[in-house]
C-alpha cells in the first residue's frame, strides 16, 4: 500500500512540475524566450513521462549552451560614420577609456578589430573596415572579414549609404544572415536644423525626411525597402535604438538572447525590465535543473558557505544591472551628486550590511521572509523553491528596482 501511495504521490509531483513548467513558459512571448521551442517540447515530454533526470539533463545542456555560445556582432560602414562611438556606447565604455574603440575624424579602422564586452565574456563586437577601402575591395570583402562567424551585421552611415554598402547588404541577405541599416549622428542633424531654422523647426518632419532620403536610395538600387534605424551614439534612449534592440533580440536564436539582453545599456525602464524577465527565466530553469522546485524552504539558518555564495550572487547581479560601486560612482559624477547620497536611495547596497549584534545570515533571512510574505511564494504561482533560489529572486527584484532608480536620477539631471 505504501509503495502504491509513493508512486501515486510521485506521479502527482511530476504532473505539478509539468503543469508549472508549461504554464510558466506559455506566458512568455516567443521572441523573449531564452530556450528554443524544441528544447521546451523536449523538457515537457520528459516531465510528462516522469523522467525528471532526463528533463534536468536537457535543461543543464541548454543553460550551459547559453553560458558558452559565442555572440559575434559585426559593425561596418563608411569613414566617419561613427562606428567606433557606436561600439563604445554598446559596450558602455567611454571613447577615452583604455580599451575603447579608437575614435577619430579620419578612417581609424584599417583592419578587423574585436572588442569584448566588459560584462558578457562570450559577446564580441567586431569593428570592420568599410567596404571598398584599399585592403577590403567589394569583391573580396565578405571572404576577408570571415562573413560566416557573425550573427548579424550593422551597416552604419552618418550621411548616405553608398552603392558598395547596398551591394553588401544584398550579399549578406543572399547568404542567409541579417543586416540592419543604422543612421548615426541624427542628433547633430536635429541640432543644426533647430539652430538654422528655429521658427519652422519640426523634429518629426526632419526625421521623416532623413528616412525618405534613404528609402529613395534603396528604391533606386532595386533593394526592398528595409527599416532604417535613426540613432544618436550619445543618447541611445532617444530616437530608434530601443526599436533596434527589440528587433535584434527577436531575430537572434533563443540561446543567444539572454546574454545579448544582459549586455545592453540601461537606456529605458523597458530595457531594464527585459533584463529582469530574461534573468528570471534563467533562475527558474536553474531551480528546476537542481531539483529545487516543490521543496519548501527552511528559513532557520544559513551556513557560512551559503552566505559567501549569496554575496557573490548579489554582486554579480549588481554588475549586470549597473548598480555596483563603480557604476554608481560614474553616475554620481555625471549627475554631480555625492556618491553616498545616491547610494542611500538603493536597496541592494544595504542588503549585505549587517547591523550590530546581527549576523549577515540573520539579516538576509529577515529580508527573505519579508520578500516571501509580499510575493506569496514564487510570484503567487503556488510553487516553492529551495532557499537559495528565493534569495536569487529577491536579489533580482532588488537590483532591478535600483537600476530603475538610477535611470530616473540620471534623467532628472538632463
CATH code where residue 245 lies: 3.40.50.300
What's the pLDDT score for residue 116? 94
Q: Are residues 295 and 399 in the same domain?
A: yes
149 domain-assigned: yes
Q: Are residues 187 and 321 in the same domain?
A: no
Give pLDDT tens digits for 183-236. Answer: 999 999 899 888 988 888 888 999 998 888 888 888 888 787 788 899 998 888
Q: Are residues 145 and 249 in the same domain?
A: yes
Domain that holds residue 338: 267-412
What's the pLDDT score for residue 324? 93
State the average pLDDT over residues 269-281. Answer: 94
Cβ of 211: how many Cβ atoms within 10 Å? 17
- Pick the range with the lowest mean pLDDT from 57-66, 147-156, 177-186, 385-394: 385-394
Last residue of a domain, one of 208, 237, 263: 263
217 domain-assigned: yes
Domain count, the chain: 2
Q: Are residues 295 and 323 in the same domain?
A: yes
The pTM score is 0.85
11 domain-assigned: no
Q: Are residues 255 and 143 in the same domain?
A: yes
The residue length of the chain stands at 414
> For residue 299, is pLDDT > 60?
no
- Pick the range with the lowest mean pLDDT from 109-113, 195-199, 276-280, 394-398: 109-113
369 domain-assigned: yes
DSSP 414: -
95 domain-assigned: yes
What's the pLDDT score for residue 296? 47
Q: Characterize the bridge pairing of strands 152-157 and 228-230.
A: unpaired
Percent share of the chain, pLDDT over 90 = 36
Nearby residues of 63 by Cβ (< 8 Å), 6 or more positions away: 282, 285, 286, 289
Give pLDDT tens digits for 349-372. Answer: 888 776 666 666 777 777 766 766
What's the pLDDT score for residue 105? 46
Q: Are residues 102 and 138 in the same domain?
A: yes
Last residue of a domain, one of 211, 240, 263: 263
Q: Are residues 141 and 278 in the same domain?
A: no
Last residue of a domain, one of 216, 242, 263: 263
16 domain-assigned: no
Q: Are residues 256 and 145 in the same domain?
A: yes
Q: Are residues 208 and 125 in the same domain?
A: yes
Q: Are residues 216 and 282 in the same domain?
A: no
Q: Are residues 372 and 242 in the same domain?
A: no
Q: Are residues 135 and 190 in the same domain?
A: yes
Residue 374, burial from CB neighbour count under 10 angstroms (0-12, 13-18, 19+): exposed
What's the pLDDT score for residue 14? 57
Q: Is the CB of residue 321 less than 8 Å from the CB of residue 375?
A: no
Amino acid at each position: 500500500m505504501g509503495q502504491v501511495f509513493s508512486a501515486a504521490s510521485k506521479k502527482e509531483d511530476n504532473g505539478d512540475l509539468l503543469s508549472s513548467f508549461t504554464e510558466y513558459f506559455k506566458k512568455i512571448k516567443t521572441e523573449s524566450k531564452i530556450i528554443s521551442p524544441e528544447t521546451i517540447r523536449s523538457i515537457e515530454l520528459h516531465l510528462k513521462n516522469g523522467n525528471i533526470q532526463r528533463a534536468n539533463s536537457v535543461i543543464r545542456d541548454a543553460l550551459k549552451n547559453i553560458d558558452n555560445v559565442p555572440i559575434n556582432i559585426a559593425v561596418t560602414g563608411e569613414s566617419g560614420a561613427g562606428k567606433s562611438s557606436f561600439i563604445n556606447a554598446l559596450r558602455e565604455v567611454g571613447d577615452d577609456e583604455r580599451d575603447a574603440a579608437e575614435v577619430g575624424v579620419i578612417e581609424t579602422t584599417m583592419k578587423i578589430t574585436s572588442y569584448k564586452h566588459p560584462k558578457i565574456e562570450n559577446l564580441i563586437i567586431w569593428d570592420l573596415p568599410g567596404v571598398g577601402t584599399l585592403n577590403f575591395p567589394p569583391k573580396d570583402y565578405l571572404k576577408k572579414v570571415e562573413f560566416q562567424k557573425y550573427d548579424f551585421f550593422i551597416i552604419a552611415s552618418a550621411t548616405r549609404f553608398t552603392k558598395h554598402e547596398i551591394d553588401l547588404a544584398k550579399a549578406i541577405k543572399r547568404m542567409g544572415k541579417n543586416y540592419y541599416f543604422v543612421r548615426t549622428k541624427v542628433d547633430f542633424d536635429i541640432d543644426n536644423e533647430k539652430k538654422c531654422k528655429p521658427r519652422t523647426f519640426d523634429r518629426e518632419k526632419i526625421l521623416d525626411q532623413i528616412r525618405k532620403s534613404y528609402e529613395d536610395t534603396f528604391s533606386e538600387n532595386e533593394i526592398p525597402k528595409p527599416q532604417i534605424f535613426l540613432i544618436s551614439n550619445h543618447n541611445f534612449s532617444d530616437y530608434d535604438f530601443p526599436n533596434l534592440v527589440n528587433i535584434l533580440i527577436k531575430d537572434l536564436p533563443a540561446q543567444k538572447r539572454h546574454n545579448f539582453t544582459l549586455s545592453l545599456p540601461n537606456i529605458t525602464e523597458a530595457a531594464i525590465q527585459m533584463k529582469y524577465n530574461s534573468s528570471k527565466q534563467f533562475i527558474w530553469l536553474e531551480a528546476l535543473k537542481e531539483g529545487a522546485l516543490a521543496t519548501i524552504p527552511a528559513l532557520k539558518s544559513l551556513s557560512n558557505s551559503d552566505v559567501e555564495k549569496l554575496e557573490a550572487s548579489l554582486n554579480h547581479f549588481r554588475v549586470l544591472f549597473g548598480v555596483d560601486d563603480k557604476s554608481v560612482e560614474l553616475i554620481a559624477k555625471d549627475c554631480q551628486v555625492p556618491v553616498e547620497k545616491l547610494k542611500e536611495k538603493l536597496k541592494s547596497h544595504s542588503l549585505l550590511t549587517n547591523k550590530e549584534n546581527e549576523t549577515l545570515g540573520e539579516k538576509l533571512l529577515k529580508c527573505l521572509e519579508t520578500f516571501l510574505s509580499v510575493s506569496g511564494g514564487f510570484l503567487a504561482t503556488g510553487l516553492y523553491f529551495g532557499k537559495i533560489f528565493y534569495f536569487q529572486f529577491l536579489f533580482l527584484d532588488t537590483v532591478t528596482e535600483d537600476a530603475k532608480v538610477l535611470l530616473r536620477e540620471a534623467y532628472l539631471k538632463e
